Structure 1
Amino acid sequence: MKRIATVAAATLLTAALAGPEASAAPPPVALTVASYNIHAGIGTDGNFDLDRTATAIAATGADVVALQEVDRHWGDRSEYRSVVDELARKLHMHARFAPIYSFEPPDRGKPRREYGTAVLSRFPIAEFTNHDLTRLSTQDPDAGPQPMPGFAEVVVRARGSLVHVYSTHLDYRGDPSIRERQVAETLDVLAADEGAPRVLLGDFNTAPDAAELDPLWTELDDGFAEAGAGDGFTYPAESPEKRIDYAAVSGEVGVRGARVPATDLAATASDHRPVVADVVVAR
Structure 2
Amino acid sequence: MTDVVPNRVMTWNLCNPCDASNVDRAAEIATYAPQVVGMQEACARDVEKIRDYLEVFYGLRYHVAYGSVLQNWSRCGGAPWDPGGFGQALLSAAPMTDRVEVEYPEGGSEDRGYMAVTTTVGGQSVRVFNTHLAQRRQEEFREGQTRVLAKAVARSERAIVLGDFNAVPDAPELSRMWALATDTDPACGPAPAAECAPTTEWQSKFDYVFLRGIAPLRHRVVRSEYSDHYLLHTDVDPTRAVTRAARPAR
- Compute the TM-score of the two structures, normalised by the length of structure 2: 0.79
Assess if the C-alpha contact under 8 Å between 1:41 and 1:53 holds in 2.
no
Match of 2:197 among 232, 240, 243: 232
Within the candidate set 155, 160, 163, 1:199 is matched to: 160
Distance in 2 of aligned mates of 1:130 and 1:219:
21
Deviations 1:160-187 (A, max 9, x none): 4211111100111313111111111111
Shift of 1:48: 2.9
Task: Name the structure 1 match of 2:170.
Answer: 209
Spell out, residue by residue over 1:132-190, the C-alpha distance to the aligned partner (whole angstroms, 9 max, x if none).
Answer: 32333546xxxxxxxx6631111113464211111100111313111111111111111
Amino acid at match of 1:129: V
Deviation string, structure 1 residues 24-56 (Cα, Å, up to 9, x no partner): xxxxx96011110011483xxxx2311111111
More helix by share: 1
AA of the residue aligned to 2:162: L
Task: Give the 3-state SS of the residue equivalent to 1:167 in structure 2.
Answer: strand
Once the two structures are TM-superposed, the CA of residue 219 in structure 1 deviates from its matched residue by 0.9
The answer to whether residue 14 in structure 2 is matched with residue 38 in structure 1 is: yes
Residue 50 of structure 1 contacts residue 83 of structure 1 at CA under 8 Å; is this kept in 2?
yes
After TM superposition, give the deviation of residue 114 of structure 1 in Å.
Answer: 1.5
Cα distance change of structure 1 residues 163 and 85 upon mapping to structure 2, 3 Å threshold: same
In structure 2, do the counterparts of structure 1 residues 231 and 212 end up closer, same or farther at CA, with 3 Å as the change threshold? Answer: closer
Equivalent AA in structure 1 for residue 178 of structure 2:
W
| Residue of structure 1 in register with 2:47 after alignment | 84
Instruction: Return 128-137 or 112-121, whichever deviates more.
Output: 128-137
Q: Give the residue type in structure 2 aligned to 1:61.
A: A
Check conservation: 2:215, 2:237, Cα contact below 8 A: yes
Decide which of 46, 68, 74 is 1:99's aligned counterpart: 68
Measure the CA separation in 2 of the matches of 1:58 and 1:249. 23
Counterpart contact for 1:64–1:120, Cα < 8 Å: yes
Q: CA RMSD in A?
A: 2.6
Gapped regions of structure 2 (runs ≥ 5): 55-60, 190-194, 241-250
Distance 1:203 1:136 in 2: 14
Q: Which residue identity lines up with residue 233 of structure 1 in the other structure?
A: P
Structure-2 separation of matches of 1:160 and 1:31: 8
Alignment CA distance shift 1:208-1:227 (3 Å): closer
Segments of structure 1 that go 5 or more residues without pairing to the other structure are: 1-28, 73-81, 140-147
Shift of 1:93: 1.1
**Equivalent-residue separation in structure 2 for 1:168 and 1:185 (angstroms):** 11
Q: How many residues matched?
A: 221
Amino acid at match of 1:244: F
Share of identical aligned residues, percent?
A: 25
Higher relative contact order (CA 8 A, sep 6+): 1
Q: Which moved more, 1:201-210 or 1:156-165?
A: 156-165
Return the alpha-carbon distance in structure 1 between the equivalents of residues 47 and 15 of structure 2. 12
Residue matched to 2:205: 243
What amino acid does structure 1 have at the position aligned with 2:66? F
Match of residue 40, structure 2, among 68, 71, 85: 68
Deviation per residue, 1:205-246 (Å, 9 max, x gap): 011111111121011111123589x8521111xxx5111100
TM-score (norm 1): 0.71
Q: Name the counterpart of 2:105.
A: 134
Question: Separation in 2 of the partners of 1:151 and 1:120?
Answer: 15
